[in-house]
Amino acid sequence: MTARMNVLLLGLAALIVAAPLVLSPDAPFGGTDDAASQVVAASNPGYEKWTGPLWQPPGKEVESSLFALQAAFGAGLLGYVLGRRRRRSDE
């Protein structure tokens, strides 16, 4: 792959991440944590949480973006390690 292709792919990835935030700024951003909390509250109304977050992001969009960034970092690290192992085995 050329450097130009890498930059193009990174730009496309950034566009894919930013598009929902720009196109639907008022959209409800929720995940499985919210859905699970609602199910627990419905099945056991007296339940009280015994833990809390260390830091609360300013919005659901930021939380979703941080999660996506974490997943991308993990995938990049995994790809790097697998690529190094493959190159080492080819030599």
* Length of the chain as a residue count: 91
Global model pTM greater than 0.75 = no
* Amino acid in the structure at residue 35: A
Tens digit of pLDDT for each residue in 6-64? 999 999 999 998 898 888 878 776 777 778 888 998 999 888 888 888 988 888 888 88
Give the count of alpha carbons within 13 A of 61, CB side only: 12
Q: Do the beta carbons of residue 17 and residue 68 sit within 8 Å?
A: yes
* Amino acid in the structure at residue 90: D
What's the CA gap between 28 and 35, in Å, rounded? 13
* Amino acid in the structure at residue 29: F
